[in-house]
Amino acid sequence: MLRERLRASAAHVGVALKEPEAFALHWHRQGMPYPWSVFLALALTAILGTTTYGMIMGLLAGPERMLAGGLFCTLAAGIGWGLALPALYILNSLTGSRLRASTTFLAALVTTSWGGLAMIASVPIAWFFTAALPQDVRLFALHFSRETAVLAVHLVVFAGVGISMCDVFRRVMQALEPERGYWPAWLLKPVRAIGGGLFHQFDFVQFTALGWI
């Protein structure tokens, strides 16, 4: 029984990551067809992605910074979404949405799970540049340290994953309510603002260590 439930949950998660619009529409139209284990699996995917990539970000600073990076990255992402999600639902409702709270939560969870998977896929890129770049990096007339170059790689990855997550959330919300267009995607701004503030508070990207602030 447990094995069958886990297999069914894994199949649902696969659909959520491959076809997030269809996954959310099925929930919206059929009531509540997914068990709690599906929500847990989606959340664990997001947590695994942020923790893994956060650890890679601390690779140059040793094991302690790797553990702290995994923790801080997951905390920043979790708190950012956790604080912004109620505001997102309220603002979405005030602007004309008729979605249930559970549907909005599912759309956000699918988005974060997809983002977690994208961060896992980005780990080899970050690891390659961390290991391959020399101590003194030169790009044409520019000279900067390896730490600065690796940080630039991480910021590019975060920007790419963030843009992709916005696109996934937009597509899911547009599939649920086609008449509202792209408007719900703008409601993710509080998530970016809170997450960015927490990254700065935790010194997660180590601007202080680089002497930038």
What pLDDT, in 10s, does the model give residues 116-127?
Answer: 999 999 999 999
Long-range CB pairs of 70-77 (<8 Å, 24+ gap) are: 72/199, 72/202, 72/204, 73/204, 74/47, 74/50, 75/198, 75/202, 76/195, 76/198, 76/199, 76/202, 76/204, 77/46, 77/50, 77/112, 77/195
Is a pLDDT exceeding 70 seen at residue 203? Answer: no
What's the pLDDT band for 13 if we cut at 50, 70, 90? Answer: confident
Phi, psi of 145 (to 5 degrees): -75, 165
Contact call for residues 151 and 210 (beta carbons, < 8 A)? yes
- Bridge partners (DSSP) of residue 137 are 144
pLDDT of residue 213: 40
Residue range 195-205: average pLDDT? 68
CA neighbor of 129 nearest in space, from 155, 157, 144, 149: 149
pTM: 0.82
Biggest distance spanned by C-alpha atoms of the chain: 64
